[in-house]
C-alpha cells in the first residue's frame, strides 16, 4: 500500500465536528480495526488517527525508541482535545503505555492493547498465538502465557512478514505470510490469538488457511468497550454520525489514503472523511 496520503493543502473542508473524540495511535494500519470497532459502538465520537509511516514497523526498535515514537504520535493528537488515547499496537503498549499514562492521565485516559490470551485459554486449548517474530520471542508474551494460559497447551507462531505485507497492501505477500504461519500452526489448535493489531484486517483470509472450527480471538471490540467505560459512555450504535476528524502521518496532517479501501475497516472509515481541524478551529 504505497499511498500513505498526501499532506493537506489549501482550504480544509467545512464539515461538522463532534463534541467528543478519541485518538488512536499506532505505527501503521493496525489502528484501523480498533477505530472501526469504536465507530460501530459510538458513531457520534470523532476519530483522530495518528500513524507513523516514517518509523514503522516498531517491532525491531528498542524499547526506548518505541516509547519516544509513541509519545510523539500521541502528543500530536492533543490539539484535537481527545477524550481518550488508544494505543492500538501491542509493541507500543508494552514499551510506551506507562510513559503515556504518566504524561496524560488523569486528564486524558490512555487505553492499551493486549493479545487476547486470557479468553482464548478460558475456552480451552490448544491455543496458537500468531505474532511478529519479535513478539513471539519476547518476555512479554511468555509472561502473558504464564499468567493466563499456564495450564493450556499454547504455541507461539511467528507470522513472518504479515504485518509488513498488510501495511504495503501486497496481496501475494499477504497470502504467502498467512500460508507460512498456517503451516507452522500445529494441527488440532482450537483457538487462535491475533498478537498483532494488523492481523485482524485479514482475519477472513487467516481463517480460510486454518482447519475448520478454529475460533479467532482479537481485541478491537474489547478495547472499544473499555474506552467507552473510561470516558463514561455506553454503547449506542444509533447515535448521530461523526466519523474521522483528522489523520496524522508521523505528526503531519494528512488524508485518508484511498488504498485503505483494501480492507473492510478501511472502507468504512473512508466513508467518513477527515476535516484535519484541531479542536477550537473556527469554520
Residues serving a catalytic function are: 89, 196
Contacts of 155-158 with C-beta under 8 Å, sequence gap 24+, read 155/126, 155/127, 155/128, 155/129, 155/185, 155/186, 155/189, 156/128, 156/129, 156/131, 157/128, 157/129, 157/130, 157/131, 157/181, 157/184, 157/185, 158/131, 158/132, 158/133, 158/184
d(CA 209, CA 198): 17
Q: Angle at which helices 90-104 and 63-75 pack, to 10 degrees?
A: 60
d(CA 219, CA 194): 8
Three cell numbers, residue 138:
519476547
Amino acid at each position: 500500500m504505497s499511498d500513505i496520503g498526501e499532506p493537506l493543502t489549501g482550504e480544509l473542508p467545512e464539515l461538522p465536528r463532534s463534541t467528543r473524540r478519541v485518538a488512536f495511535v499506532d505505527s501503521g494500519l493496525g489502528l484501523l480495526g480498533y477505530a472501526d470497532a469504536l465507530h460501530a459502538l459510538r458513531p457520534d465520537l470523532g476519530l483522530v488517527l495518528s500513524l507513523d509511516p516514517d518509523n514503522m514497523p516498531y517491532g525491531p526498535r528498542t524499547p526506548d525508541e518505541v516509547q519516544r515514537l509513541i509519545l510523539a504520535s500521541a502528543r500530536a493528537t492533543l490539539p484535537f482535545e481527545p477524550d481518550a488515547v488508544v494505543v492500538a499496537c501491542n509493541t507500543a503498549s508494552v514499551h510506551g503505555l506507562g510513559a503515556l499514562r504518566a504524561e496524560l492521565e488523569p486528564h486524558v485516559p490512555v487505553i492499551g492493547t493486549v493479545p487476547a490470551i486470557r479468553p482464548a485459554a478460558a475456552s480451552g486449548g490448544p491455543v496458537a498465538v500468531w505474532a511478529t517474530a519479535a513478539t513471539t520471542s519476547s518476555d512479554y508474551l511468555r509472561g502473558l502465557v504464564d499468567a493466563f494460559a499456564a495450564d493450556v497447551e499454547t504455541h507461539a507462531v511467528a507470522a513472518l512478514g504479515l504485518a509488513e505485507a498488510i501495511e504495503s497492501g501486497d496481496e501475494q505477500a499477504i497470502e504467502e505470510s498467512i500460508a507460512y504461519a498456517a503451516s507452522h500452526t500445529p494441527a488440532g489448535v482450537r483457538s487462535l490469538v491475533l498478537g498483532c493489531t494488523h492481523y485482524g484486517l485479514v482475519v477472513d483470509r487467516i481463517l480460510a488457511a486454518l482447519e475448520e472450527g478454529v475460533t479467532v480471538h482479537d481485541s478491537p471490540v474489547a478495547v472499544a468497550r473499555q474506552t467507552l467505560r473510561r470516558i463514561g459512555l455506553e454503547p449506542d450504535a444509533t447515535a448521530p454520525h461523526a466519523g474521522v476528524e483528522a489523520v496524522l502521518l508521523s505528526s503531519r496532517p494528512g488524508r485518508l489514503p484511498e488504498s485503505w479501501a483494501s480492507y473492510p475497516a478501511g472502507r468504512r472509515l473512508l466513508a467518513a472523511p477527515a476535516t484535519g481541524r484541531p479542536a477550537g478551529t473556527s469554520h
